[in-house]
Chain A
């Protein structure tokens, strides 16, 4: 039941109604039932894995807290992490590992014919596994007491707004909220609905429209070259943002309607002035997870330069691999790790030089150059993320410049049905222009968000401005949506 489906538009009001109808003491129960129904709607069998992951971490948390020695605590943590990760590896990565081994050494593994499990990957398993793990590690680190109520802990792992694609919440933030009494607050509900509507707009109007061009080109990249590949890559840069940010906004809005505050996942990432800054603004819940539970335990930046570089590369390779069992994701992670290392070296050089450049660092032109450079590097890396195979990605990366001058001279022909240049991009001329206008609109909203959040901005307006804005947004979604539901990109992870 994806958020952009009719089923969800029916499911959510029912759950919200039931939630507020329950006595505050048992609301968590209604929510837990709703969450399991939501998750089972994709495939009931998936619930077993979810429950197994819940049970492993629930027991691990209790055993860790009751263990007398540090060694015993470590052992139970190891069991918790090992158990959760084995579920993840078995369901998501096993086929990839065996296929990769077979391709590397086909003569040694001829008899190893494991069933193809790639289509059985349970939805959201990467997300809820990390969320559950964060609880076990928090208990181990003494950041929180174990949760003895299995129902509430199960709700923490399966909370329906977050289960499919996050944001990956922390036990220290989310679990206490399930015990707090929540009353109906009109302004909070309105704020949640506003956020949901903006999320729908980003997903259904912008991301799904851009997806047409991206799917067309990345589906058969060898039929395209030059400007078509560049356009598709830039479109994907915005598509993935709108897709995932839209999802996160719907998730955060849904949780807010019911009275739960969930961490923000994006902070205008394409306005970052460097790669490290980008990672502080992109998929914040995942990058902070890796920072808190992997990078810092590995030693972070406290054990010398070499170990720092090693830690960065480990984090980014695992982050890439977390996205999916494919070499393209791995390469994307490696590329970002490399970007991070270069950024570190570059910032060191700048600090050592202490030239006038540092004074100019705040000037608008320098800021613009840095933002543009960062944006270009990130867009380039997305090629490896989106391409179906590594060879497709390499083709795209090496053909971006082909006939570029000719294409630029004939740019007006783009998107004109029967294409004169660049092949058919899947959108006609008008829709192509509309897509670009929508990207400009998104950037303007981001500019506005520099000083104030969109929600705060809208809520401050008088009714005579606010309501027409709502109507525009609602009918904008209806009018500009592209039918034929595109699933959320991150749901596959």
Chain B
């Protein structure tokens, strides 16, 4: 290798590095807003003083309107969250605030499914979570890779996902497959059924119970016990069509998993069929729209307050037979 070759190689790599940094800065400027928006709930949380934490995925995110619930509550719900992320968020919340006494977790049918277990990327959690030991336990990763990943959170465009995101940002492209903002009521019956079949199949079709997630729930319960936090389980409403097609899958396995742990929950609230007759409350087959969320939040608030004030354990109502468990008076209000 001649001196000229060495010089050329060094020059080539230097320019490559410069270009990489240029792209990185550009990426950072494009994602600054996004990062801020991801951190927004955590920044707001610091300013608040909640007693009840709501955790969950997009079902909880769409179904709960915070201003209706009031300052006692705080929602960390985010689309795609599974029990791992919920655990990390509760751990963070308890470390930051000492007044937390109750936590609301989802009891949906997909909570332990393969669909929910797909989200194994803890990079977003590194934005707030400092408990690297818990992360490595939950994600079954060794400590070194968690710390390395934590390092990479400060290095933009370090992962393939970052580059894909950059590509989408550059092309102003959004993956829109599931995020179409149409109202569910406007779909024809066949379209409703087709979307429900697809949704149910993707959520429940591939192994409805992942033992890995159930065991994390057990760890979660033990953690709550240790921290004197009581757990409230909520099954969020879904459409009639979703319910019909969901019944084709072994839902009793999910119910059994919850029933086996009933004694650890303050209460289990099942709202799966309360809006079966009200398709105009849905954004799509299993998410409420703003109107539905408004009604639902009011019901939820009353039930949680009741459960807390009485601090009694209601009998499990996760029967899987789609019976409405709530008092008739509440249905009447709708």
Residues of A within 8 A of B (CB): 184, 186, 417-418, 424, 428, 430-431, 467, 470-471, 474-475, 478-483
Contacts and interface: CB of A to CB of B under 8 A. Distances in A.
B161 interface: yes
B25 to A, nearest CB: 14
A19 to B, nearest CB: 14
B151 to A, nearest CB: 15
A418 B180 contact: yes
Interface residues of B, number: 23
A186 B1 contact: yes
Given A471-B19, A474-B16, A475-B19, A481 B180 contact: no
16 contacts: A184-B1, A417-B176, A417-B177, A418-B177, A418-B180, A424-B177, A430-B171, A430-B173, A467-B12, A470-B12, A474-B16, A475-B19, A479-B166, A480-B167, A481-B164, A483-B160
Interface string B1-43: 1100100000010011001000100000000000000000000
B97 to A, nearest CB: 36
Interface string B163-189: 110110011010111001000000000
Given A186-B5, A471-B15, 11 more contacts: A417-B176, A418-B176, A418-B177, A430-B171, A431-B173, A471-B19, A474-B16, A475-B19, A479-B167, A481-B160, A483-B164
Contacts of B171: 430
B160 A428 contact: no
A448 B171 CA distance: 29
Contacts of B173: 428, 430-431
A186 B2 contact: yes
Majority-rule SS of B interface residues:
helix
B281 to A, nearest CB: 21
A428 B175 contact: yes
B27 to A, nearest CB: 11
Nearest to A20: B1
B237 to A, nearest CB: 23
Contacts of A424: 177
Enumerate the 9 nearest inter-chain pairs by beta-carbon distance, A residue then B residue, closest first: A483-B160, A417-B176, A186-B5, A478-B163, A479-B167, A430-B173, A483-B164, A483-B161, A418-B180
A101 B64 CA distance: 59
Contacts of A430: 171, 173
Contacts of A480: 167
Nearest to A185: B1
Contacts of A481: 160, 163-164
A467 B1 CA distance: 19
B71 to A, nearest CB: 39
A149 to B, nearest CB: 30
Nearest to B175: A428
B180 A417 contact: yes
A474 B13 CA distance: 12
A467 B163 contact: no
A63 B166 CA distance: 60
Contacts of A467: 12, 15
A428 B179 CA distance: 13
Contacts of B180: 417-418
Nearest to A430: B173
Contact of B23 (A418, A428, A431, A475): A475
Contacts of B23: 475
A154 to B, nearest CB: 30
Contacts of A474: 16
A428 B178 CA distance: 12
Nearest to B182: A418
Nearest to A463: B8
A79 to B, nearest CB: 47
Contacts of B160: 481, 483
Nearest to B180: A418
Interface string B45-57: 0000000000000
A187 B232 CA distance: 67
Nearest to B159: A483
A483 B160 CA distance: 6
Contacts of B19: 471, 475
B326 to A, nearest CB: 34
Nearest to A485: B160
A179 to B, nearest CB: 24
A430 B171 CA distance: 9
B177 to A, nearest CB: 6
B145 to A, nearest CB: 12
Contacts of B177: 417-418, 424, 428
A144 B133 CA distance: 60
Contacts of B1: 184, 186
Nearest to A418: B180
Nearest to A478: B163
A431 B319 CA distance: 44
Given A184-B1, A428-B176, A431-B173, A479 B16 contact: no
